[in-house]
Structure 1
Amino acid sequence: MLKIIDRYIIKKYLGTFSFMLILLSIVVLVIDVQQKIPRIENAQAIDPKLNLSYFLIHFYPFWIINLVVTFLSILVFISVIYFTSRMANNTEIVAVISSGASFHRFARPYLVTSLFIAGISLIVNHFVLPWANIKKNELEAYTYNATNKEKVLGTAPVSAQLSRNEYIFINSWNKREKRGSGFVFQKFDKNRKLTYELKSSDVYWDNKKKQFVLNNYLEKTVNKDDSEKLGNSYEVRKSYGHAPDELFPNELLGQNKTTPELLKFIQREKEKGNSNLNTYLNELYQRTSMPVSIVILTFLALSLSSQKKRGGLGINLAIGISMAFIFVFSFEALKVVSENKSLSPGLAMWFPNLVFLPLAAYLYWKRANQ
């Protein structure tokens, strides 16, 4: 009998969740395309191939993967509230409990299904989503407004710390063309004294040979006796270990890396002395904290909706949507706080779970003992 009920609940869980996932994807896709058509038309003016059809094939499928992963725990939460409230209103839950099954036994298929979804989400977050983000982020900037688009594709000063004693500065660097002007490379000794400096009026990245090409350069070597050796020429090629996207990373870089790659990148930046890593650490911790929230929110939703209430399904959905909004808002707000270095990334990305876990545990314990 209970195994039949288990299959029934799992089918309800996955069926409702799948329906809401498909519905959300279609609705949000239609709204987003309508909003971004003017920006896509502007992109087409720059490159004729960047038309709406191109975006629908090469951008939006990967954008939807990112969207689903972002709102997965909320979709689970609302889905559980919806189908469990219907079961409660139809007195199905009362019938199961009255047959002699404990509430803990009734909750078992919820646990199994939430762990199944969380496990898939964990794999997707750490390995599949970065691949989708690479595809998405190639065109993402073209869907931004003019100001944000300029930050990603436009020209701006950039800098990089290659090691604790080596630095690169470029006065004007175009991220899309990978070309700039006002290049400076500096190397210091352990006493922070300048030992070598290389300046160039123009610089560009040779993608085939994986080198920076410096034009009209001037180099200066400072000897131990403070004497200087100068040199100059028309062109020199330099390799600084990484491509421009790695040396001058933007906020999207962390999204493009699988977790092993992201861990290596963070470790490398730490060894170089880079302390501005909270954006990438947020990305790393969120990949695990979000799947864990699926299990927590499943039991929170079960506890809130497994009892028949005055107001029925409507009041349960209202409570669920309100709590879902609080959950999503807290993640985004804490991400900003962490990026401003007011809170550690680990605590910021796990804080919503740390708040909702005891709430879910208390409500579940209270419901199980009624």
Structure 2
Amino acid sequence: MKILDKYIIKNFLGTFGFIMLLLTVIVLVIDVQEKVPRIQNSGFTVSYFLIHYYPFYIVYLLVTFIAIIVFISVIFFTSKLANNTEIVAIISSGASFHRFARPYLMTSLFIATIFLSVSHFALPLANTKKNVLDAYTYSDANREKILGNVSITTQLSPNEYIFINNYNKKEKRGSGFSYQKYDKNKKLIYQISASDVSWQAKKNNFELDGYLEKTVLKNDAEILKDGAVRNISFGHPPEELFPDQLLGQNKTTPELIKFIAREREKGNGNLNTYLNELYQRTSMPVSIIILTFLALSLSSQKKRGGLGINLAIGIALAFIFVFSFEALKVVSENKTLTPLMAMWLPNMVFAPLAAFLYLKRANQ
């Protein structure tokens, strides 16, 4: 490896590590101060959250904003090189701009590869820990939406349905339960209802209290049974049967792909939230490479205003990039765009821009 490569890689990784650490500390301090009242009102201590929540929350934030951290890092240290006329000296020595950009490519590929693996496998494990406590950092109204009572209507398969009038997600119990199964002609062939239902984790099934069971025979005759208690299994725990938006975050990519396939087979038409999560895990690490070359192209020339103007441009573009991802998630969930298009559209827009600016800079 040449001296030039070592010098740029050292600056790249050093600045990247410093900015990542700095932003982590700033975000942690601000976030803890904001959420202390909600945490304490929920019956927890701040120290408990610092140990059991925030380490995993920081992992989530870093993966979410890693491309932006890289982008600002490249702009910061490359602008310093340009202001110190180091880039002019390197180019004047006979090295081409393409040669100068090679360590940028190597380092961005290295970071992107690491965070690609983290996004697909390590982040879901962190999210599993984070999401257990996440609701307790919300306002009372938003926490009630996640942990409070809801009405359940879910489809287990094209011919099977579950209805629960009032179900508490936190306690995993409810009232007004009904399971219905239909034949291929949409005729009811089996139904079991109960006044109360509760999940029994040790037995891995549901317990029905005060149940009434009805079986419809081919000649339309009915067999009725009732009883005090009945255990019934649907093959999955409540989190899988009644999934929320956070469930996709908790699954590694192989698990998420299987879950999406199972939900699609069930006839679930609201899969875009999970598909967004799946495609973003690859598109975000790829954006690290794109934004690295965009930042290099913007900051490799000495400008009037120096580092300040480059950082201002960089932060503005970073805001646009992050906002576009979040806005496109909403668009995709409303089924205006496909999840694949929505999660790759920012890269599809920024990649040609980065290529154009890079070639323009290289040919100067």
TM over 0.5, yes or no?
Answer: yes
Partner of 1:131: 125
**Which letter does structure 2 place at the counterpart of 1:38?**
P
Partner of 2:174: 180
**Which letter does structure 1 place at the counterpart of 2:148?**
G
Does 2:164 match 1:170?
Answer: yes
TM-score, normalised via structure 2 length: 0.99
Partner of 1:333: 327
Partner of 1:73: 67
Find the partner of 1:286 among 280, 288, 291. Answer: 280
TM-score, normalised via structure 1 length: 0.97
Distance 1:318 1:120 in 2: 28
Does 2:17 match 1:18?
Answer: yes
**Which letter does structure 2 place at the counterpart of 1:18?**
G
Deviation sequence 1:150-179 (CA, Å, 0-9, x none) = 111111111221111001111111111111
Partner of 1:3: 2
In structure 2, stretches of 5+ residues that fail to align are none
**Which letter does structure 1 place at the counterpart of 2:179?**
F
Hey, which bits of structure 1, 4+ residues long, moved more than 4 A?
none
**Which letter does structure 2 place at the counterpart of 1:19?**
F
Find the partner of 2:201 among 207, 223, 231. Answer: 207
Does 2:252 match 1:258?
Answer: yes
Does 2:221 match 1:227?
Answer: yes
* Secondary structure of 1:62's aligned partner: helix
Distance 2:317 2:177 in 1: 51
Distance 2:79 2:302 in 1: 7
Partner of 1:42: 41
Q: Percent identity over the alignment?
A: 71
Q: Which moved more, 1:305-314 or 1:321-330?
A: 305-314
Q: Please state how far the C-alpha of 1:59 moved relative to its aligned partner.
A: 0.3
* Secondary structure of 1:162's aligned partner: strand
Find the partner of 2:100 among 86, 92, 106. Answer: 106
Find the partner of 2:54 among 53, 56, 60. Answer: 60
Partner of 1:306: 300
Partner of 1:31: 30
Distance 2:242 2:193 in 1: 18
In structure 1, stretches of 5+ residues that fail to align are 45-49
Deviation sequence 1:220-270 (CA, Å, 0-9, x none) = 112222222211111100000000011001111000000000011011111
Distance 1:320 1:90 in 2: 19
Distance 1:160 1:126 in 2: 28
Distance 1:225 1:167 in 2: 23
* Secondary structure of 2:219's aligned partner: coil
Distance 1:218 1:272 in 2: 25
**Which letter does structure 2 place at the counterpart of 1:26?**
V
Partner of 1:47: none
